[in-house]
Structure 1
């Protein structure tokens, strides 16, 4: 079973309009609302790929019913834990007139989350777990929570026989990596700036390699740094590899990293049933999403298009 944890939830409004003309009235072509936050996004992609997933999320007190309903519409079962405040609203906007690429705007995250709510979430997660489960700790942590929260959860998950994937940021990400129990983590080029030894003024590839080396030195089994359209830098045996999957046209940029994590976890959870490597399914899933394939039907076809280049020895 794949389980995802979200401490910074949101509602993602995907709105498609015919045009955007200042002072003029356009027409809404479609409007979909998803229960979101990075862990919820991962869960939605996992479900689309046909694997079983169970999500755990904080949510604003007044939004709990609406959040569960939106998750259920995407086929995702979520255990919610109510906290004071309003769940943020995010907007992804596309226009027929402006072309396929979407614009995205994020609302303010939950603030001053009580640690007791997080404790209840983690307790339920650990009660539900079975040995071999993959647990994904995703996204930012609300202000006021201890930056070691992901680290503590990671230790508890591994003690219960689970496998930990972390897709976080800032000090919380660094502390989680330092536990030495993380199986995979994938900061993007900006998030990698929080990693010790990564110098912001260095060239992009130098920063990615420095971040990768530090994560490997901390015991991460599969360290990854994502570079957007350029692909990912990761470890392959004793080498550092640049892997990418070309697409004809980028249509959706937001949540590409969540699609990557979902593909990775699905392949890792089915390693005995498929010869597809987790990194390959991860890259192909992200590429399919960025290309605008909402149903991810082209994922396995894209694996044949994956490119690799050796950068240097690890």
Structure 2
């Protein structure tokens, strides 16, 4: 079974699997979840995968699902990529599996990536270099990027401020510099066959993301993590113009409920003829669904 584009009204390219159905919540991540819940004013209990699928199926929204592997930097056990992939296979009418592999894992990480793509149906990858504590252009990640590029798959790169760690002592030890979008520019230049999605409005470096998406055919932007009513004005301006085919809907669920994002987007200033691309059509092309 595959996603029927006619039956869904949107594609959310940014949904987190934060807790396993089989394993207890990791105690290291629990501290970050506590702080994030306070910062985002969201419930502390994280939804499990069946709850996420039920919500999105009810809303008729397809979604990309991923964990974040930050095992090397934080010592926090990730939710297994294989659990995410197996769950997506059981919910293939609505769920698109992405994987997350810590770039520090180098060639071993590249082996896992190839297995996930070839044998488990993974359709993309997610990086959060602030949590992973590494420059996106660190050459240790090149073997992993080479696999992603070989299959022409998309990779989502967190950019901008990190809500995770905000309000914690020393920001939880996280370094915001690794979220600067221009650090991904070397990756985009050296791997033109990898579709790069710069996640979030990238504040306080918003203009860097817009520039990169204008400059490079393989760079796109997802608008997750912020309510559209708070978007910097240039995001809406470029989405209505030169980047109308390059920006796409992402919620950052469970941080932001998809309904909340969609409701705010209607009043954010996006042109009516642009919204279908943002909500579904641009993502369908980038994900290879159309």
TM over 0.5: no
Q: TM-score, normalised by structure 1?
A: 0.41
Q: Which has more radius of gyration?
A: 1
Q: TM-score, normalised by structure 2?
A: 0.44
Whose strand fraction is larger, Structure 1's or Structure 2's?
Answer: 1
Whose helix fraction is larger, Structure 1's or Structure 2's?
Answer: 2
